[in-house]
Structure 1
Amino acid sequence: MSKKEELLQAIAGKNRGLLAKELEKVAILAAIAQLEDFNPTPRPVESLDLLEGDWRLLYTTSKGLLGFNRIPLLETGQIYQCIRTDGARIYNFAELGGLPLLEGLVGVAATFEPVSAKRVNVKFERSIIGLQKFLGYSSPRDFIKQIEAGKKFPPLDFNIENREQQGWLDFTYLDNDLRIGRGNEGSVFVLTKDR
């Protein structure tokens, strides 16, 4: 079994990390580190064709993302990080459910700037929160087209002016369908490319 298969097997059934027990988390982080040692793309920031696309979250240690499920009556659906290399943009979307007809969406738009072969600085610029049906959300790809066309999404669509809303992201593993990243808050992200 390859290191990649070992990692995918370790995170299977863990609901992006919510269901992982402490010992499992240690084993998963070890599997992630081992796979990072065999990164087939040593300069991921320069591999725009591989970075480009809609990436679905498989596993994370991010307390912010895992925290959505701790809100009563709220269930987290899919979580995406969509990278558009043309324009150096990143879009993060968390689909929320739990109550019939009240599926929500939390979205953040950001720009990124390469600072090394593996790291980008990220500046968050816009946040969109609302019910999917009122936002006209059907998929990340279609929603991004609306955002890039300049559409506003009331009632909660606002610019992020706070300079504290910046960070960085290291791409520590990248191949055709799997990406591992580490963020400035110490979080690890394992994502698969949606086709």
Structure 2
Amino acid sequence: MIGKAALLDTIAGTNRGLLASEQQKQAILSAIARLEDVNPTPRPVEANNLLDGNWRLLYTTSKALLNLDRVPFYQLGQIYQCIRVQTTSVYNIAEIYGLPYLEGLVSVAAKFEPVSGRRIQVKFERSIIGLKNLIGYGSPENFIQQIETGKKFIGIDFPLNDDTQQGWLDITYIDSDLRIGRGNEGSVFVLSKA
């Protein structure tokens, strides 16, 4: 699809948005809007086979995510959003790299509820922050399996019970390997199936 290739070309070299100039940001938002207009999946939330799985972040305007790269001596690694449709669970995982043996991880576990054909309501339930080697992190899949068994991790591992720890996400485009979403804080997310 030409629109998809154009979006991916426009995103290339921006390091998920960290290096995007204002001109690039505008070009990316235009390419996103063009692709959203031809979304092949009219009711993305109901397309369980497409939605389910591990998604790797390609681009975002989310300040909360991009600010993870501003920690001294560290840089942002891969960011994943892993969706488990069967359990209505979402796991956001950001890998942090820096000094040897001090690579870190910032993760949030949440539950989601479909509220329309393209919108999900998200309630954040748990935050986990720590060193990858102490947590035993090998991959998103392995980490999620540990979370689902109820494991308590070494580091900062705490519940998020506050009603303010929620939001919504509109899935505005999805196909077999690309997903675009727009969040309640005005952020845009472009992800590829990992």
Corresponding residue pairs, total: 194
Q: Please, what TM-score do these two structures have when normalized by structure 2?
A: 0.98
Q: Show structure 1 runs of 4+ deviating over 4 A.
A: none
Q: Distance in 2 between matches of 1:186 and 1:140?
A: 26
What pairs up with 1:124-143 in 2 under 5 angstroms?
A: 124-143=124-143
C-alpha offsets along residues 139-163 of structure 1, whole Å, 9 cap, x if unaligned?
Answer: 1011101111111102311100111
In the other structure, the counterpart of 1:178 is 178
Residue segments in structure 2 that go unaligned for 5+ positions in a row: none
Is this contact kept in 1: 2:135–2:155, CA < 8 A?
Answer: no
Q: Distance in 2 between matches of 1:76 and 1:68?
A: 6
- CA drift of 1:51 comes to 0.3
In the other structure, the counterpart of 2:98 is 98
Q: Is the partner of 1:86 in helix, strand or coil?
A: helix
C-alpha offsets along residues 83-127 of structure 1, whole Å, 9 cap, x if unaligned?
Answer: 000110000000001111110000000000000000000000000
Compute the RMSD of aligned alpha carbons.
Answer: 0.8
Q: Which amino acid aligns with 2:20?
A: A
Q: Distance in 1 between matches of 2:58 and 2:98?
A: 20
In the other structure, the counterpart of 1:16 is 16
Q: Please, what TM-score do these two structures have when normalized by structure 1?
A: 0.98
Q: Is the partner of 1:191 in helix, strand or coil?
A: strand
Q: Distance in 2 between matches of 1:146 and 1:43?
A: 32
Q: Is 1:114–2:149 an aligned residue pair?
A: no
What pairs up with 1:52-67 in 2 under 5 angstroms?
A: 52-67=52-67
In the other structure, the counterpart of 1:33 is 33
Residue segments in structure 1 that go unaligned for 5+ positions in a row: none
Q: Which amino acid aligns with 1:50?
A: L
With 149-158 and 73-82 compared, the bigger mean Cα shift is at 149-158
In the other structure, the counterpart of 1:43 is 43
C-alpha offsets along residues 13-43 of structure 1, whole Å, 9 cap, x if unaligned?
Answer: 1100011100110010000000000100010
In the other structure, the counterpart of 1:3 is 3
Q: Is the partner of 1:66 in helix, strand or coil?
A: helix
Identity of aligned residues (%): 65
Q: Which amino acid aligns with 1:30?
A: S
